[in-house]
């Protein structure tokens, strides 16, 4: 199989040594089926073992290989080198996150947001396992199914200008995950999650830019989840005003 040469410009940054990030350029031979992650692996194995980046599954499942490729948040394992043929490919860490080293960003804020929305089924009273599972119809599953495909890659946060301005903003994936549980017929945790997604920096901070949904590699539509969360919250508030006792 014939090989071409890709020119890759990668951000290098070792906080303990470098005053600021800089670019380093590498030449990488590649075949038609190779992706940007393969090029990074080639650089690490053959040219410069100090290059640092995250990856695991190499198949768009683990969500760990996100980077800005030519300015766009993408999975490096899902970006083919031949799509950039004839031009230098710039690979940078995802925007809006502190950089730990080279392409590795600090995920702490995102992880805290995921935990904050309580991403598990909440029941008013747990049924003992021996009484069987909580049943759900295909139609009920359909209500939240797409929002459960998230792989926590954080590309939507890298694309979101509101998160870039205000890191307290709950943001796309965490709100989509909250909505996934709010819409799950087995869950009874709306009262717990609504105050979280409707607080000052929750869903209402979103200004409908929509880039989160454009960059998502799994077809999740976080912007839709945020808008649906707003509607549910507003409807819930009106119901509680009209029917203060149990009006939901
Ligand atoms: S919603 Fe999409 S872009 Fe955002 S973290 Fe989940 S999979 Fe990644
Ligand atoms: S390496 Fe797992 S999603 Fe890219």
- The set of protein residues with a Cβ atom below 6 angstroms from ligand 2 is 55-58, 60-65, 75, 77
Work out which ligand 2 atom sits closest to the CA atom of 75.
4
DSSP 118-150: --S---SSPPPGGG-PPP--HHHHHTTGGGGG-
pTM: 0.93
Contacts of residue 16, Cβ cutoff 8 Å, sequence gap at least 6: none
**CA-nearest residue, atom 6 of ligand 1:** 150
59, 51 contact by CB (below 8 A)? no
> E strands of 15-106, at which residues?
22-30, 66-69, 72-75, 89-92, 99-101, 104-105
**CA-nearest residue, atom 7 of ligand 1:** 150
pLDDT in tens, 6-33: 999 999 999 889 999 999 999 999 999 9
* Topology of the domain comprising 4-105: Ubiquitin-like (UB roll) (3.10.20)
Q: Which ligand is nearest to the CA of 154?
A: 1
- Other beta carbons within 10 Å of 59: 9
114 Cβ inside 6 Å of ligand 1: no
For the chain, domain boundaries: 4-105, 108-242
CATH 3.40.50.300 fits 108-242, yes or no: no
Work out which ligand 2 atom sits closest to the CA atom of 57.
2
Residue 1 has pLDDT above 60, yes or no: no
Confidence of residue 247 (pLDDT cuts 50, 70, 90): very low
Q: Which tokens go with 107?
A: 């995920």
223 Cβ inside 6 Å of ligand 1: no
pLDDT in tens, 106-158: 999 999 999 999 999 999 998 998 999 999 999 999 999 999 999 999 999 99
CA dihedral 113, 117, 120, 125 (to 10 degrees): 150
Ligand 1 centroid–CA 21 distance in Å is: 26
Confidence of residue 4 (pLDDT cuts 50, 70, 90): very high
pLDDT value, residue 248: 44
148 Cβ inside 6 Å of ligand 1: no
Give me the half-sphere count of Cα atoms (radius 13 Å) on the Cβ side of residue 98.
8
66 Cβ inside 6 Å of ligand 1: no
Indicate the burial class of 226 (C-beta count within 10 angstroms; 0-12, 13-18, 19 or more): buried
Ligand 2 centroid–CA 46 distance in Å is: 21
Confidence of residue 240 (pLDDT cuts 50, 70, 90): confident
- Cα 109 off chain centre by: 12
Beta strand pairing call for 4-12 and 89-92: parallel
């Amino acid at each position: 199989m014939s090989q071409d040469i890709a020119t890759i410009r990668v951000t290098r940054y070792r906080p303990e040594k470098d005053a600021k990030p800089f670019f380093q350029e590498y030449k990488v031979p590649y075949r038609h089926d190779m992706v940007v992650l393969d090029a990074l692996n080639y650089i690490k194995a053959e040219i410069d073992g100090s290059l640092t980046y995250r990856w695991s599954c190499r198949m768009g499942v683990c969500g760990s290989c996100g980077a800005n490729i030519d300015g766009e948040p993408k999975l490096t394992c899902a970006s083919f080198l031949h799509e950039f043929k004839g031009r230098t490919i710039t690979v940078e860490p995802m925007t809006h996150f502190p950089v730990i080293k080279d392409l590795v960003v600090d995920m702490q804020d995102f992880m805290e947001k995921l935990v904050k929305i309580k991403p598990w089924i909440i029941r008013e009273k747990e049924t003992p396992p021996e009484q069987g599972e909580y049943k759900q119809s295909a139609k009920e599953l359909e209500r939240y199914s797409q929002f459960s495909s998230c792989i926590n890659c954080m590309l939507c946060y890298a694309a979101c200008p509101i998160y870039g301005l205000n890191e307290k903003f709950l943001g796309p994936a965490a709100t989509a995950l909250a909505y996934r549980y709010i819409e799950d017929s087995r869950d009874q945790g709306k009262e717990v999650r609504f105050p979280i997604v409707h607080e000052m920096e929750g869903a209402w901070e979103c200004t409908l830019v929509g880039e989160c949904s454009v960059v998502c590699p799994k077809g999740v539509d976080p912007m839709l989840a945020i808008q649906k969360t707003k509607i549910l919250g507003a409807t819930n508030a009106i119901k509680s005003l009209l029917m203060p006792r149990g009006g939901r």
